[in-house]
Amino acid sequence: MNNRTEEQQDSPTEERCTNEKYITISVDDGHPLDLRTAELLDKYGLKGTFYIPGLNDERTLMTPSQMREIDRQFEVGSHCLNHVRLTWMPVERSWREISDGKKFSEDALGHEVISFCYPGGKFNERIESQVKKAGFLSARTCRYFLYDFPEDPFRWGVSVYANTYPSYVQVRHALMERNFQGCYNYLTTFRAQTRWGAQFQYALEKVSSKGGVAHLYLHSWEIDENREWDELERVFKAIRQYSLTPVTNGYLSRLWHEKQALLSVPIPA
């Protein structure tokens, strides 16, 4: 396994180009079982970003002190103030959800929060521009079966969602999300595989040979409900067979912005 840690990569530079090989994990919703996922990530030397809302009517939420515990070792990103679907609400309310959510996380952690995740993966151009205006550097979506270094950090997709669905559901979801690249990849690279553990193996192989980002997204409460802790550990263990660099989502978004800044520097005559 490549043992470079994120601490050793504090200033991403030009030579870390798009054909580098990264592994990152997203854990959404801030359930207290995320602490169990954090232990497993630590056991296998992995990095990840935990997207935690300020409040969540749908299920149990960890306390601010548990958030800080996660933040000591991993990245904490914002998932809105109330974990609500932003595209359904008036412009002033979505702005409050995004900006107050950022303030909530930053007050709880005592430092800047740069990564955002759209609740339910729902976004449009208005929401995207509000996320940028609030000062985030990236926003993660629910577009699956992607493994290339993203072109747009505010439409950041993942390789695999850790839950198993029939192939037709995956295809339908990709089309509804206008994720045509992911739909194509699902039918080719991922061979329309239904089991998420096997899907992620394909992502690891692809990134290992061609470069890019193998990105697994999960809900700890869902892993628990599906009794898949052993499967999650098997997948984390399998990652060690590949020479991929473990990073947080935020590391990759900083890298994206640094590369853009370098590209915009005029070449001396």
Residues found near Zn ion in the complex (CB under 5 A): 28-29, 119
What is the rounded distance in angstroms from the CA atom of residue 247 to the CA atom of residue 66?
21
Shortest distance, CB of residue 79 to Zn ion, whole angstroms? 6
**Helix, strand, coil in percent for the chain, rounding step 5:** 45, 15, 40
Nearest distance in Å: CB 97, Zn ion: 13
Nearest distance, CB of residue 262 and Zn ion, angstroms: 33
51 vs 236, beta carbon nearer Zn ion: 51
Q: How far is the CB of 29 from Zn ion (least distance, A)?
A: 4
Nearest residue (CB) to Zn ion, 80 versus 213: 80
Judged by CB, which is closer to Zn ion: 130, or 141? 141
b/e sequence 57-92, b meaning 16+ C-beta within 10 Å: eeeebbeeebbeebbeebbbbbbbbbbbbbeeeeee
3-state secondary structure at position 212: strand
Residue closer to Zn ion, measured from CB, 101 or 119: 119
Shortest Cβ 26–Zn ion spacing (Å): 10
Chain Cα centroid distance, residue 120: 13
Our CB check for Zn ion shows the closer of 87 and 243 to be 87
The residues, any chain, with a CB within 8 Å of residue 172's CB and separated by 6 or more, are none
CA dist 239 → 87, 114, 159 (Å): 35, 26, 14
Q: In this structure, what are the phi and psi dihedrals at residue 161, rounded to the nearest 5 degrees?
A: -95, 125
